Amino acid sequence: MTASEADDAPVARVDDAPVPDPEVVLGRVPTGTSLRRELAAAARSRGRTASVADDIAAIRAESTAIEIPEVDLESARRGLADAAGEEGRLAERVAALRGDVRGRRAVGADPAAVLADLEAAAAELSEAQTARIAAEQTLERERERAAAARDERERRLVLRDRLGNRRRDARKELSRAVYDAFREALSAVPGGDPADAGRAPSGYDGPRRAASLAAIRIAEIEGPVVLRPTAEPVSDAWEGRDPEAILGVPVTGPEL
């Protein structure tokens, strides 16, 4: 994988700041991130600020302010189905009782008892119709909320895309700002060679570990930096030199 491919590949999130936090990004080797992010962190430690920093902050604020409404369409649908079912059941009962009333009158029987049942059932039916209308209105509101939630999610996705683009712009700008210093630092770290640097982070073609060490060397961080075992070979390890003297920060780890 080239340095440019590594920069665009998914990596472990080391922070969620507008630009990488130096102590977090450069606090361990391997860093688990890209050279461009390492150099951006180093630049930030030296007081550099990306020209898009204000834009990043504004996009983040707008994205954070978005509230997605909670939606429960399924419950609203069940509520309407239940209300409609109850209305239908009572409508059938009212129709049957009316038939009984007509039948009793047809044979000269007293319909008073059935009329009382009919009146009670009709009242229940009226209540059920009101409940069904309310359930319809609830479902309509939930549909409107669902549409609003979709719109807000889409808006947040757009903002996140913009934020990702601005962060990449910031990393590119900051990494280029310290690239000459990085190139020079490669000559001082194990496995490093300024000839591997190329003109920009995307052109770096040397060992990743050496690049990380060079980024730490040019950064202004307090440390300590943890050196972890890695399968990537480093020429002659530390060549008998003091890692803290090379990197300029306290160093810990099993490789010392």
Residues 41 and 110 in one domain: no
Residues 81 and 157 in one domain: yes
Task: Flag whether 213 is in a domain.
Answer: yes
**Domain end among 130, 163, 196:** 163
Task: Flag whether 170 is in a domain.
Answer: no
Task: Flag whether 19 is in a domain.
Answer: yes
**Joined tokens for residue 190:** 């194990």
Q: How many domains are there within the chain?
A: 2
Task: Flag whether 67 is in a domain.
Answer: no
Residues 201 and 154 in one domain: no
The pTM of the full predicted model, rounded to 2 decimals, is: 0.68
CA proximity to 190, closest of 144, 235, 224: 235
> How far is residue 189 from each of residues 70, 90, 182, 198, 241, measured CA to CA in Å?
54, 86, 11, 17, 10
Residues 81 and 139 in one domain: yes
**Joined tokens for residue 162:** 């913009």
Residues 12 and 81 in one domain: no
Residues 192 and 229 in one domain: yes
CA proximity to 38, closest of 59, 60, 15: 15
pLDDT reported for residue 45: 94
Which residue range forms the structural domain that includes residue 121? Answer: 73-163
Task: Flag whether 54 is in a domain.
Answer: no
Task: Flag whether 55 is in a domain.
Answer: no
How many of the other CB atoms lie within 10 Å of CB of 208? 20
Residues 43 and 9 in one domain: yes
Instruction: Answer yes or no: are the C-beta atoms of 219 and 182 closer than 8 Å.
Output: no
pLDDT reported for residue 39: 96
Q: How do the pLDDT tens digits run along the chain, 256 residues long?
A: 334 333 433 333 333 455 568 999 999 999 999 999 999 999 999 999 999 999 999 999 999 999 998 899 999 999 999 999 999 999 999 999 999 999 988 888 888 888 999 999 999 999 999 999 999 999 999 999 999 999 999 999 999 999 999 999 999 999 999 999 999 999 999 889 999 999 999 999 999 999 999 999 999 999 899 988 764 444 446 767 788 999 999 998 765 5
Task: Flag whether 131 is in a domain.
Answer: yes
Q: State the Cα–Cα distance between residues 241 and 184, nearest whole angstrom.
A: 18
Coil/strand/helix, residue 43: helix
pLDDT reported for residue 241: 78
CA proximity to 174, closest of 75, 36, 16: 36
Q: State the Cα–Cα distance between residues 140 and 100, nearest whole angstrom.
A: 38
Task: Flag whether 147 is in a domain.
Answer: yes
